[in-house]
Amino acid sequence: MRQIAQSPGRLGQHTTDPDGARRIAIELSSAEKQRVEEGCQADADRRGNERHPVHLFQGPPFALRNPGDEIQAFERYSRYEPHIAEGLMQMFVAGTSTHKVGEVAQTLMGVAPSASTISRLNQSLSHQFDTWRQRSLQEHWRVLYLDGVHFSIRHGEKADATIILTALGVDLAGNKEVLALRACAEESKEGWLSLLQDLRTRGATQMDLIVTDGHEGLLDAVSDLFSATPRQRCLVHKQRNVLSAIPRRERDNVQAELVGIWEQPSKAEALIQLTAFQAKYRQRYPEAVRSLIEDEEHLLTFYAFPAAMHRHIQTTNAIESLFSNVRQRTDQIDVFTTETSCLTIVWATIQDIRLRKILLE
């Protein structure tokens, strides 16, 4: 589980939308607008003045009140880099008033879309997220990663850390897919039970392997709903826990020994190294050894799977790396205005991230 710090970033790659697109702009100061324009022009010059449309969401085009001027305006600004696209998304999702978005759009595009047009853009984005989170899932998944990431959300006059519980699946062909997102005030068994039950309700009932950290509530929820499924404890989290009980001057050597355990070519050899580590450090660093053997039966589960999968299933890094990418694209949002806006913009950003396929054999 990671705390997401926030700093500037951009939203995404260009994706093709054969059925039409929802195009969105940005709220900028005068200086920022000039910088974006200059940056986009410089990018275009480097590419030989070729500009690529930004198509973020599939679906039918919006019915605009005055198709001529408004469509031309949106077409014009849809051809800029995602600096502009990401901003209007943030305005919509963060709950900026339609009047304010209209003012910004008029400043940028020279024409003000109607309030109903702006409202439809916002509502459609939320509708797409609701449709996504209710979609049916295939029954059988090769791997299920579970982890949570914190974001700041404003509640009244104060901002609180809210955790987004995340389920990332790997299908039988090795393709990754985010299966569910759920916002909770804190990580708990109840939150994870709700997310896991949602997966089952939507059809995902067979998992070959579940990869988790050591949060007690998460482990209890997995035990309740997927008790027969093999589980792998995240070795990165485990390593951090063990090393926290080791003096800094010795951490490099101890870390090398730890990594050496799960880099053995077979489970039998890994168990020999695990036993040797315990014997060596039991008296010297009992708390570190206690941390290591906690949940010991799930440390080496990955050996039951093909060697090509090992580095992919030893940790929950698949989720951590995904949210590192999300952070880069959403960091200019210091605090989300609502829980819904946080979930929706995180989801929208994820849709524009290419998840790498993993080898299963």
The pLDDT tens digits for 134-151 are 999 999 999 999 999 999
How far lies 69's CA from each of 25, 28, 75, 196, in Å? 16, 22, 10, 48
Instruction: For residue 266, give the DSSP letter.
Output: S
Determine contact, residues 134/202, Cβ cutoff 8 Å.
Answer: yes
The residue to which tokens 């339609």 are assigned: 98
Where is the domain boundary, 133, 158, 177? 133
Q: CA-to-CA distance for 4 and 325, rounded, in angstroms? A: 11
Q: Give yes or no: residues 239 and 224 share one domain.
A: no
Structural domain tally of the chain?
3
Q: Give yes or no: residues 358 and 240 share one domain.
A: no
Global pTM reads 0.72
* Mean pLDDT (the chain, rounded): 77
The pLDDT, as a whole number, for residue 337 is 80
Q: Give yes or no: residues 227 and 341 share one domain.
A: yes
Q: Give yes or no: residues 122 and 213 share one domain.
A: no
The pLDDT, as a whole number, for residue 126 is 79
Where do the DSSP E strands lie in 215-263?
231-233
322 lies in a domain? no
Pair of tokens at residue 22: 């929802």
Q: Give yes or no: residues 249 and 226 share one domain.
A: no
47: domain range?
A: 2-133
Q: Give yes or no: residues 120 and 253 share one domain.
A: no
What DSSP string runs through 252-268? HHHHHHHHHHHTSSSHH
Q: Give yes or no: residues 104 and 207 share one domain.
A: no
59 in the Ramachandran plot: left (φ > 0), alpha (ψ -120 to 50) or beta? Answer: left
Q: Give yes or no: residues 357 and 212 share one domain.
A: yes
Q: Give yes or no: residues 105 and 120 share one domain.
A: yes
pLDDT digits (tens, 9 = 90+) for 55-112: 333 333 333 344 444 445 444 444 443 444 455 555 655 545 556 666 666 665 555 6
Q: CA-to-CA distance for 198 and 208, rounded, in angstroms? A: 18
